[in-house]
Chain A
Amino acid sequence: MKEKEVKVDCEEQQVVLFAEKDDNTYGPVQTGSYITRNYLEDFQLKQQHLEDNLLKKLIAGEISPLYFYMTLEDISISELAKRAGIRKSKAKKHLDPVHFIKATVSELKRYAGVFNIPLANLFQVIHTTQDGNWKSHFRETENGSMHGIEQHSTTNPVIVITTTTDKS
């Protein structure tokens, strides 16, 4: 591949590709990501649809919060169970809302840890907007100032403080 053929203008994601230079040598070329440049919107649209569909099912009680986050994060049940240190058969049951409510606080804390969210967010949906689209899950690590919402963990492992700021 020639250097000019791999060149993509994309500041959001830079990558290094190897290509044939003008002097016929092969070497690294820092450039933009082709897929991010051309298809990021499509990816985000699909993620939004997935999130909307999952949220409907979550609210209707068809899936558990665990299923919601696991599918959004694209983690398999085997991987989730391993990361949480919970038996796969048990974790599989927790995907069903009927069994999810029987999970212990300790188990739920471990699941929340895998998704890097406060425990409280397994029991609530915080609606935020991003680029005009509703987002139904709010991450502790996201930039609170954009939404006017911030979540801070506390010394108490089950308590998170959620603050809102009037952006007007």
Chain B
Amino acid sequence: MNAIHYNHKMAAHCETGTVAALLNHSGLNITEPMVFGIAGGIFFGYFKTAQFTFPTFIVRSKPGQIRKNIEKLMGVKIGSSRFKDPILAEAELDKLLEQGIPVAVQVDFFYMDYLPAWQRVHINVHFVTIIGKNGDKYMLSDIYYPKVVEIDKETLRKGRFAGGSMAPKGFMFYIESIPPIVDYEKAIRKGIRKAVFNMLKIPMPFLGVKGIEMFSRKVTDWPKYARDEEHLSHEIMKINVLLEDQGTGGAGFRFMFATFLRQASEILKDDKLFEMSKRMMAIGDGWREISLHAARIGKKRELGPEKLKELSDMIMNRAKAEKDFFTDLKKLV
């Protein structure tokens, strides 16, 4: 089978990048930040649960929500399936490929063996696009990788059927149709309202701006959860990875959200949104400082109470800035 002619390019995040690329392939010209913003992707959550080995945080909405919200708010029709049987999952995938349809599949990131071993961790919510098949190998477009790669059928199967939290269960999706006209104004306003709700209104102490405040308060307790100094250093430096490297577009999606607001201001011809985009970019700069600070103190093993308090204060400043920002943003929609 030949590969589908597909414009592979790197993007910031696997779900927004994959959805944007599939929409582009289907003829809808939309950017990754616009997908992110319309889907109300910006978020914050602080977690200390048995699922994780150490306290952690997330900076985006629940995996899968981007796709669902785009479908709902833009009128795009997205076909999707989950499977119990890997053989059936493979057969359905092959059938779509034969029809020339690129198919996004959910996988455990751990099995994406074209990436270096140190990058691969067990995360069940990675999305890649399958664009062809050559014998026992699938051709795969991963927006985290500069070029199209081949992956063994068996390896892909392992990735699609890994167990655990948010197990993929062979989940796949593809674009069925796009509407002739998209009401961007309505979709953008709804996306912004969703973002405001995510950050200010969810009545849980660990979500939204309250989640950032909790992160700030709790980070000074992290030494008591660490095995030793090197473990603590690793976890503190992971703050940088979670904010910058794990597909956020930088500063925990804040730079991407700023770009969305900038593009939204142009579509809606709204100068106030333009100003808000600048404010969000500045907020992102503050998160970037936190990333760099965490990496530096982790590397130098400067992990005493003073340095952690410094980190905590920087995070609390972001909470204040985002509370003000989203309160003001709410007034515009």
Q: Please give the residue numbers on chain A whose beta carbons come within 8 Å of chain B beta carbons, in ascending order.
A: 1, 6, 12-20, 25-28, 30, 33-36, 38-40, 42-44, 46-47, 49-50, 73-79, 82-85, 114, 116, 139, 141-142
CB of B163 within 8 A of CB of A114, answer yes
Cα of A86 to Cα of B62 in the assembled complex, Å: 26
Q: How many angstroms between the C-alpha atoms of A71 and B33 in the bound complex?
A: 36
Q: Does B77 contact A (CB under 8 A)?
A: no
CB pair A74–B121 under 8 Å, yes or no, is yes
The minimal Cβ–Cβ distance linking B236 to chain A, given in whole angstroms, is 11
Inter-subunit contact A18/B53 (CB<8 Å): no
Interchain CA distance A25-B258 in the complex, whole Å: 11
Q: Which one of B127-135, B172-180, B277-285, B322-330 contacts A?
A: B277-285
By a CB distance below 8 angstroms, the chain A residues around B237 are: 35, 39, 42-43
Q: Which of A1, A13, A77 contacts B251 (CB 8 A)?
A: A1
The complex places the Cα of A17 from the Cα of B118 at a distance, in Å, of 21
Q: Report how far A82 CA is from B229 CA in the complex, Å.
A: 29
25 A/B residue pairs, CB under 8 Å, sorted by A = A1-B250, A12-B116, A15-B247, A16-B10, A17-B12, A18-B255, A18-B258, A25-B262, A26-B258, A26-B263, A34-B295, A35-B240, A35-B295, A39-B299, A42-B299, A46-B230, A46-B233, A46-B234, A50-B231, A76-B51, A76-B52, A79-B122, A83-B162, A84-B163, A116-B111
Complex formed: what's the CA distance from A35 to B299 in Å?
Answer: 10
Which residues of A sit under 8 angstroms from B259, Cβ to Cβ? 18, 26-28
Question: How far does the alpha carbon of A116 sit from the alpha carbon of B152 in the complex, in Å?
Answer: 14
- The answer to the question of B204 belonging to the interface, with a C-beta cut-off of 8 Å to chain A, is no
Contacting pair B230 A16 (CB below 8 A)? no
Number of interface residues of B (CB under 8 A): 58
The reply to whether the CB of B241 lies closer than 8 angstroms to some CB of chain A is yes
B249 contacts which of A17, A46, A83, A114 (Cβ < 8 Å)? A17
Asked whether, in the complex, the Cβ of B50 is within 8 Å of the Cβ of A15, the reply is: no
Residue of A whose beta carbon sits closest to that of B113: A141
Contacts of A12 in B (CB 8 A): 116
Interface string of B253-292 (1 = CB under 8 A from A): 0011011001100000000000001000100110010011
B241 contacts which of A6, A35, A142 (Cβ < 8 Å)? A35
Instruction: Answer yes or no: B181 CB below 8 A from chain A CBs.
Output: no
Contacts of B53 on A, CB cut-off 8 Å? 74-76
A114–B122 Cα distance when bound, in Å, is: 9
Chain B residue contacts of A43, Cβ below 8 A: 118, 234, 237
Cβ contacts under 8 Å, A78 to chain B: 50-51
Q: Which residue of B lies closest to A33 (CB)?
A: B245
B155: A residues at CB distance < 8 A: 141
A40 touches B118 (CB 8 A): yes
Query: In the assembly, what is the distance between CA of A74 and CA of B227, in Å?
Result: 12
Q: Say yes or no: B163 contacts A36, CB within 8 Å.
A: no
Pairwise interchain contact B245-A14, C-beta atoms closer than 8 A? no
Chain B 110-128 near chain A by CB (<8 Å), digits 1 or 0:
1101001111011000000
Check B299–A44 contact: CB distance below 8 A.
Answer: no
Of B33, B165, B230, B295, the contact of A49 (CB 8 Å cutoff): B230
Pairwise interchain contact B255-A19, C-beta atoms closer than 8 A: yes
The closest CB in chain A to the CB of B143 belongs to: A16
Chain B residue at minimum C-beta to C-beta distance from A141 = B113
Contact residue among A17, A25, A28, A46 (Cβ-Cβ distance under 8 Å from B244): A17
A116 to B295, CA, bound (A): 30
Q: Nearest chain B CB to A52's CB is how many angstroms away?
A: 11
| B138-159 near A? 1/0 per residue, CB < 8 Å | 0000011110000000010010
Asked if A28 contacts B32 (CB within 8 A), the reply is: yes
Report the minimum CB–CB distance from B157 to chain A (whole Å).
Answer: 12
The reply to whether A50 and B277 contact each other, CB–CB distance below 8 Å, is no
Question: Per a CB cutoff under 8 Å, which of B32, B251, B295 touches A39?
Answer: B295
Taking the complex as formed, is B164 at the interface, i.e. its CB lies under 8 A from any CB of chain A? yes
Q: Is B245 a contact partner of A13 (Cβ separation < 8 A)?
A: yes
- Chain A residues positioned under 8 Å from B144 (CB to CB): 15
- Cβ-based interface call for B11 (8 A): yes
With the chains together, A25 CA to B231 CA distance in Å?
40
13 new A-B contacts at CB < 8 Å, known A18-B259, A26-B258:
A14-B145, A16-B17, A18-B250, A19-B255, A28-B32, A34-B295, A50-B230, A75-B53, A75-B122, A79-B164, A82-B164, A85-B163, A141-B113
